Amino acid sequence: MSAVAAPGAALARGLVRDRRAAFGCALVVVACLAAIAAPLLAPYDPNAPDFVAALSPPSSAHLFGTDDLGRDTFSRVIYGARVSLLVGLVSVVGALVVGTGLGVVAGYFGRFADALIMRVMDVVFAFPSILLALAITAVLGPSLSNAILAIAVVNLPVFARIARAQTLVVQRLDFVEAQRALGFGPFAILAKTIVPNILAPIIVQGSLLFAAAIITESYLSFLGLGAQPPTPTWGNMLRNAIGFLGLAPWLAWFPGAAIFLTVLGFNLFGDALRDIFDPRNT
């Protein structure tokens, strides 16, 4: 119980000491609560048009104004949080699980497995992440699931490299050598010893890549390669706002602010995790 509670207690202490970390955590919590409680918080159906109220400025009736079809921008921003956080969660967790597994296998078994896995990762890593995501979604077709797959593939080499490097260090430690001497199989050692001991830097990297995943999803949606209308996403809201910047600039203000604040929150939270798990700070 104490081993599990220690990181949580350390995180709480870090948030108390560091106001930036507390602010970042607050932004993350607000974004998550908004996504979870979207049906309760949104005053209107995000896809319901009201042509009479089209391009209305922010007011008491429509806090963030309305778009060219009269849809409530506040409701669409709230529901857009669901898409962005879903993409970030599924893509990053998928990349973390698969990439960590590949990196651990490459680092522990070495030789052919290491050469094969890491050369494939090097090829993926050689492409600029945005261009690779664009290429994957362009080939597979525009959809939310393909955007998630593209972002996961882009992030695979990051987790694989970290996992491999950490595995190379941990597998040489005395307690791992002792387990080998006692007859523990390689997969038992990997699952029970090596993976738990390399998770800290991987989780920190995952929190930072969560922010990057939100930005990438916004890029793809902005270019029409992510979730398709009428599904509200921050990226396609910005795309729709381009034609009305002079007439209704609020259409870009609020989804842009949502992206900025959410990404800022995850970056600050990731920095706090990095400081907490840094052994030099213990």
pLDDT at residue 7 in the model: 56
> pLDDT-based confidence at 1, cuts 50/70/90?
very low
Average pLDDT, the chain: 88
> What six digits make up the tokens of 190?
């990997």
Structural domain includes residue 55 = no
Please tell me whether the peptide bond between 230 and the residue prior to it is cis, using omega within 30 degrees of 0. Answer: yes
> pLDDT-based confidence at 8, cuts 50/70/90?
low
Domain that holds residue 184: 14-38+74-281
Q: How far is CA 78 from CA 44, 47, 118, in A?
A: 11, 12, 40
What pLDDT digit, counting tens, does each position of 212-245 carry? 999 999 999 999 998 888 899 999 999 999 989 8
Residue pair 155/99 in contact (Cβ under 8 Å)? The answer is yes
Counted domains in the chain: 1
Q: How much of the chain exceeds pLDDT 70, in percent? A: 93
What pLDDT digit, counting tens, does each position of 191-207 carry? 888 888 898 889 889 98
> pLDDT-based confidence at 2, cuts 50/70/90?
very low
> What six digits make up the tokens of 174?
């005395």
What pLDDT digit, counting tens, does each position of 19-66 carry? 777 888 899 999 999 999 999 999 999 999 999 999 999 999 999 999
Structural domain includes residue 218 = yes
Residue pair 202/93 in contact (Cβ under 8 Å)? The answer is no
As a whole number of angstroms, the distance between CA 154 and CA 148 comes to 10
Structural domain includes residue 52 = no
Structural domain includes residue 108 = yes
What is the DSSP track for the chain? -HHHHHHHHHHHHHHHH-HHHHHHHHHHHHHHHHHHTHHHH-SS-TT---GGGTTPPS-SSSTT-B-TT--BHHHHHHHHHHHHHHHHHHHHHHHHHHHHHHHHHHHHH-HHHHHHHHHHHHHHHHS-HHHHHHHHHHHH-S-HHHHHHHHHHHHHHHHHHHHHHHHHHHTTSHHHHHHHHTT--HHHHIIIIIHHHHHHHHHHHHHHHHHHHHHHHHHHHHTT-SSPTTS--HHHHHHHHGGGTTT-THHHHHHHHHHHHHHHHHHHHHHHHHHHH-GGG-
pLDDT at residue 186 in the model: 81
What's the one-letter identity of residue 194?
A: I
pLDDT at residue 16 in the model: 66
pLDDT at residue 5 in the model: 47
Return phi, psi of residue 72, to 5°.
Answer: -70, 120
Structural domain includes residue 189 = yes
pLDDT at residue 134 in the model: 92
Structural domain includes residue 121 = yes
Q: Which residues pair with 66 in a beta bridge?
A: 72
Structural domain includes residue 1 = no
Structural domain includes residue 66 = no
Q: Which residues of 240-253 are buried (b: 16+ CB within 10 A; e: fewer)?
A: bbeeeeeebebbbe
Q: Using the predicted structure, report yes or no on whether residue 152 has a pLDDT greater than 80.
A: yes
Q: Using the predicted structure, report yes or no on whether residue 6 has a pLDDT greater than 70.
A: no
Q: Which residues pair with 72 in a beta bridge?
A: 66
Q: Using the predicted structure, report yes or no on whether residue 12 has a pLDDT greater than 90.
A: no
CATH classification of the domain holding 257: 1.10.3720.10
> pLDDT-based confidence at 103, cuts 50/70/90?
very high
Q: How much of the chain exceeds pLDDT 90, in percent? A: 62
Average pLDDT over residues 97-102: 94
> pLDDT-based confidence at 281, cuts 50/70/90?
low
